[in-house]
Structure 1
Amino acid sequence: MDENLPEPSINPYFNPSKSGENYVRLCYLVSTIGGDLFRDILSRYIQPADLRLQLDKNRTKLERIMNAEQKEKIYPLSGTTTLTSKDLDISVLYILLRNICSIPKHKNGWGNPPLDGDTSLAACIERIRIQRNLIPGHSPIGEIEDTVFQDHWDKLKNSILEIEKQMTGGNMYERWIANMLTCDLNPTKKEERFKKIEDRLKKVESSQWTHAPDAKETTDIGILRTMVAAVILCIGIKKAYDSIDTGNELGFMKIGDYIMYLHSRSHITSVLLGFDL
């Protein structure tokens, strides 16, 4: 064996330290969650079907602002191309929000740090841009310590949630952020949880009757089969899937609670399911 060749790695391909995980979470928060938020804002001001029209209408203005890579993406030399907001990264989205959406500037003006307490849409957009630019500078090796991480996270979270409150009053981004803060970044553990879901489904599919049901049981079984299937599909699988990244077993517990309730009402449930949770 050539002594100059590296030894085979015994470590997982992706097994980041805590500070490494901090960096990954922040990158996801600002680029993926922040990017989708900017796309939602853009669609409020420019209908998706009109995006290409508005880009062409404002071409002279935008080309003065964009760098060469951005211009090639929006105005390729090969000719006009169809674009959606999904094709645009967060830096281009910021340029569009600032320059062609008629969003009122914040008190310090676009491109400047907003005043503390300024919760205008432009101020929140600006803070997300600033955090996006700061994160790489604070982490030349892809790691961010807890105290710095928490500062970045809180500023990004507060800005994103303020925009969500103003735009929809919903909590989709709030739930997404909470999940990203606690999700398991170890792919091996995630695969194990997927396997658990598959095993539970196989148990349901392979369940056997212990006796031939009579007429009344047949009717009851038909009703319960529908109910249990609905529970598994609409509650169990949904909750289990939503909980995969958080590392908990909420989905399975919900299935178990509901089945225990049915079991207390009818002996047929135990025959129907044929397994214990």
Structure 2
Amino acid sequence: MSFSKYESTRGTTHLARIARAILGPCIDVLREVLAKEISPPDLERKVKTYIHQTKKPSISEQQKRLVYGKNYSDFDVTLLYFLLRNMCSIPQHKNNWGKDPELTDKSVSANIERVRILRNEWYGHAVDFSLSDSDFEQRWNHISQIVKELEGYLGTATKYQDTLIELKSCCMDPDSVQPYIDTLLAVEGLQTDVTNLKEGFGELQTDVTNLKEDVEEMKKTNEKSSTQGIVI
């Protein structure tokens, strides 16, 4: 199989940015919505009550451990969606939980639903390796609007919107810059070595010249001594 299908392109970078936006700002803003709705101690109590009342395995044992661990930063989209839908007092959107919301619906639940759908379509169930420029712009604007409306509900600063602005154009692979830095440092180091070599070579030339002069002086002295030692 040819590797060209998997080569990095502008289109694959677009898709990677979408994934980063969903797994970063989108999830983080949902975590803050959950924190606003329910405190960690209350969440554990509500989950236990819900499980007892429903009499069904609504979440996995691993998800239970995460809930009881009370660290919202460990919650993924699936768990966040379940908790926001079933443990909070957030009214469901016009088309009801679990269904696509209307385009004009700007409710909190509609935007929570959209994050779930985005996660499934563009990360969890993605089948394409890239996005065109136009598709990327459309999806990015969609994500930005979702985050903007959820941050508006939180009534906090625009940190996640600001993060999206940075993610849209930042270097996707910081490590790719390092080889250029290393090359620059190597060249600078090489230049320093060359300079030192030139200086050392200059000193060597001086030493050789002095040595030659010393040898010549020694030869003259030896010749003079030999001449004076001859008996006529």
TM-score strictly above 0.5: yes
Structure 1 partner of 2:104: 117
The number of residue pairs the alignment matches comes to 177
Q: Which residue of 2 is the match for residue 154 of structure 1?
A: 141
Q: Does 1:57 align with 2:49?
A: yes
Q: Is the 8 A contact 2:12 2:131 kept in 1?
A: yes
Paired residue type of 1:148: D
TM-score by length of 1: 0.56
- For residue 106 of structure 1, what is the aligned residue in structure 2? 93
Shift of the alpha carbon at 1:43? Answer: 0.4
Separation in structure 1 between the aligned mates of residue 55 and residue 144 of structure 2, nearest angstrom: 32
Residue of structure 2 in register with 1:37 after alignment: 29
**Which residues of structure 1 form unaligned runs of 5+?**
1-14, 196-277
CA positional deviation for 1:16: 2.9
Aligned residue runs from structure 1 range 168-207, under 5 A = 168-191=155-178
**Does the aligned pair in 1 maintain the 2:43–2:87 contact within 8 Å?**
no
Secondary structure of the corresponding residue to residue 21 of structure 2: helix
Mapped to 1, the partners of 2:31 and 2:47 lie a distance apart of: 15
Name structure 2 gaps, 5 residues minimum: 1-6, 183-232
Q: CA deviation at 1:120?
A: 0.9
Cα distance in structure 2, aligned partners of 1:114 and 1:65: 27
1:39–1:169 CA distance, 2 compared to 1 (3 A):
closer
Partner of 2:62: 73
1:128 aligned partner: 115
What is the TM-score normalised by the length of structure 2?
A: 0.66
The structure 1 residue matched to 2:81, chosen from 85, 94, 101, is 94
The aligned residue for residue 19 of structure 2 is: 27
Is the contact made by 2:63 and 2:79 (CA closer than 8 Å) also made in structure 1? no
Structure 2: how far apart are the matches of 1:55 and 1:137? Answer: 25
Q: Which has the higher Rg, Structure 1 or Structure 2?
A: 2
CA drift at 1:156: 1.4
Task: Give the structure with the larger helix fraction.
Answer: 2
Give 1:193 shift.
Answer: 10
| Percent identity (aligned) | 27
User: For 1:61 and 1:157, how far apart are their aligned partners in 2?
Assistant: 38
CA distance in 1, matches of 2:70, 2:167: 29
CA–CA distance in structure 2, aligned partners of residues 98 and 153 of structure 1: 25
Amino acid at match of 1:30: I
RMSD in angstroms over aligned alpha carbons?
Answer: 3.0
